[in-house]
Amino acid sequence: MGVNKNNCKIKSIRARQVWDSRGRPTVEAEVLLNYNARGRAIAPAGASTGTGEAVDRRDGGEAFGGFGVKKALAAINEDIAPALKGLNAANQDAIDKALIELDGTADKSRLGGNAMIATSLAVAHAAAAAYKMALWQYLHEQENSGQAPFLPLPEIQIFGGGAHAGGRVDVQDYMVTATGAETYAQALEWTADVYRAASRLMAEEGRLHGVADEGGLWPDFDDNEQALDMLVRAIEAAGLKPGQDMAISLDIAASQFGSKGRYRLARDDRTLNSDELSGMLVDWVERYPIVAIEDPMAEGDKEGMVRFTWAVGKRVQVIGDDFLVTSVGRIRAAARDKACNAVLIKPNQVGTLSETKAALEAARKAGFGAIVSARSGETEDVSIVHLAVGWGVEQLKVGSITRAERTAKWNEGLRIADQLKEMGLEGEGQQPGGALPPRSRFPWGKGG
């Protein structure tokens, strides 16, 4: 990649307040380079968050329920912009090192994780623009892996629960993943069929309460397992075969209802210890077409994670989110302890693009699977799709197939699929719509 370095020097950075999908303020950073290459990025926000995450800088007080971002905007305009001016945007490691040193805290609390990730991603977009590339292509060429790019396998919410749906069910996400689909486009089409079937079945039974934070159906179930039964029925009603065409993925988000080895399932009116919760989830794996379970135990229940991974880790993905928070150190420790076998990659959990990439590399070195993920508070920003394609990450979790902040990302994948075809980067035999990663990369293989 040959571009005059002067073209990549940062000329200015500005911050603006924009809005996320929950109607809360968030931070957008806009980076301008010499000769006017430009990049923008917006910080997302989570509702279910791990204690080790980078801390968003919020204003507190009464305005916007305390979620104002004037202090984070000031951090960009008054601290970050002068510090990065004149630096080479193509040197992402140096940019992010400067951000980290300027912040000077372990949890990004001085500048704010929201200010830092918006800036870091905007710099990457600007550098890609200077090279006249889409971000995915810019990142892919930097990888220099010799591997043809592919589209990630979508993991898409059908029912929302937990912190995303007023606790209507304790489990946070009931998702599907099109394990039998041949292309990215087909995976989305099949998922839309399942969503519509689930909506119809729920409405017929009077169990449809509304729409959850991430666009999934806000259910009214009597217990947590009833959602699994309904999901299987919806897959079948869509004309698909559970476990072959379409499988189930769960985000238990156990930290939201458990601590100190005790787990309160309010919907089931039961309190379980770690082994009992693990036993319930193992039983679900035996009886339902489940291929992935995220945060099956609370983030402090390492022994529970180890035991659960020992029980089912050869058959399903056991994914760390709150447990790992996109942290290199935590990923390495989990690999040593065999406490999971996959990691959720969320850039705003760690605060910079370079640290996000380091977490992905640590996961790959450990033999872990990886899923690039959005947050519950999202915007039209599509950076994570470019990260997944550019870095060759096999899976993408965005939320549901509805709501514009979600469909913006799924639709960006369709555009990238077309770009790959136009550029001749799809391999022989690949169908339009973007090839998915080889099923040999997943514990369940092709077709369940």
Give the active site residues. Answer: 214, 346
Q: Which amino acid, residue 428?
A: E
Are the CB atoms for 155 and 249 separated by under 8 Å? yes
Report the Cα–Cα distance between both ends of the chain, in Å, rounded. Answer: 41
User: Which of 315, 316, 285, 279 minimizes the C-alpha distance to 297?
Assistant: 279
224/222 Cα distance (integer angstroms): 7
Are the CB atoms for 71 and 78 separated by under 8 Å? no
* Sign (positive or negative) of CA dihedral 418, 155, 314, 299: positive
Phi, psi of 291 (to 5 degrees): -115, -10
54-71 exposure pattern, b = at least 16 Cβ within 10 A, e = fewer: bbbbbbeeeebeebbbee
Tokens 């749906």 belong to 165
User: Which of 113, 234, 230, 238 minimizes the C-alpha distance to 161?
Assistant: 230
